[in-house]
A = this chain, B = another copy of it.
Amino acid sequence: MRYMTAGESHGKGITAILDGMPANLYVDKDEINRELKRRMLGYGRGGRMKIESDEVEIVSGIRGGFTTGAPITLFIKNRDYENWSNIIGADATELGKKTVTKVRPGHADLSGCIKYAQSDARNILERASARETAARVAVGAVCKILLKELGIIIGSHVVEICGVKSGYRYSSVEEIIEKSDESDVRCIDATAAEKMRAAIDIAVKNGDTAGGVVEVVAAGMPVGIGSHTAYDRKLDYIVSGHMMSVQSVKCVEIGLGRGYAERYGSEVHDEIFIKDGAVFRETNNAGGIEGGISNGEDIVVRCTLKPIPTLMKGLRSIDLITREPVKAEPERSDYCATPAGGVVLEAALAFALASAITDTLGGDHIDELKARAEQKRTAENGSR
């Protein structure tokens, strides 16, 4: 399975092509739209979100609701393109408008202009924008539908915003899914949520921004996805790249993650038990991956998102043309994207897992894949 995305923040729209989906999977478009809507919510969003009532257009690969095995094209229109077409479009003539030369620290603006020999950072930021995550969410939504058929569900919740930590420890992914979206900061610990909102309020007041940490969890994975045999077939290799590539993410933790550095081995490794023939663990510090292979426990990944680097108060920077010190351009942006970031990271994990599963199991159509996943789920160690 593979996918590519394309499209600019103020261009016609965002396109994704997703290749390798098994045939005969029923894809409910409303499910994709529901995920796109989830991506737009959250406390501390800027003006952009108000104009982004995204809806997916399925351009190919699905007929009468079912996949055919052909590549799926997902298109999400940018609603304000009409105002931008002559500035940003392929045939645009007003390239001198909306130029960005006061490059924003923390973004690709400056490095991008150097790499690609540009003098207008608009040519960089339009693509670097987190607007691209709309495509990733749409792709992830289709992957979630596939995973659900295989008995795998994914949820996320916010565990930290600007230093405020959630006290919630999850007991089941169902619970996460049920409860996190009830909170506008997507934090299940109500008291912490209150403080998070307060921290965001301060950011809003000061023209500042706030980052945070999201925990993403997948339940129902069969044992044996990924492999210990080659560094780039390890499930954690695959997962970490997809998560780290989401805009703003600067830290990826599997399971206990950073916490592994603080305790002795005997305190953190997940011991293995057996009862009535059933193998189980009582803890899951490994986050469902041992030796690069899924072990059947929940996949647990925590990602830290930096505060969005576009500040209304303006960071000190330079102007590309005048080479003078300036305040960086304040493009319209959010104050805190962490709650919505969780939705994007669910999508990133969904693709990573769906892709790793089909790499391991193949599967031309959904019945075939379901049967193989079931076999894998019930497999015991071999007799050789």
Contact = CB atoms under 8 A, between A and B. Distances in A.
A146 B249 CA distance: 29
Interface in A336-384: 358-365, 367-368, 372, 375, 379-384
Given A277-B323, A325-B273, A257 B264 contact: no
A254 interface: yes
B379 A290 contact: no
A231 B245 contact: yes
Nearest to A248: B260
Interface string A243-269: 111100111111111101111111011
For the complex formed by this chain, how many copies does it contain in all? Answer: 4
Contacts of A294: 111
In the A-B complex, the 9 residue pairs with the smallest Cβ-Cβ separation, listed nearest first, are A108-B291, A117-B382, A115-B224, A265-B307, A209-B265, A362-B362, A113-B381, A58-B90, A6-B71
B230 A19 contact: yes
Contacts of A262: 160, 162-163
Nearest to A274: B318
Interface residues of A, number: 167
A190 interface: no
A15 interface: yes
A98 to B, nearest CB: 11
Given A209-B264, A229-B19, A304-B257, A91 B105 contact: no
A145 interface: no
Given A72-B6, A95-B63, A237 B241 contact: yes
Interface string A206-238: 101111110000000001100111111010111
Contacts of A359: 362
A244 B240 contact: yes
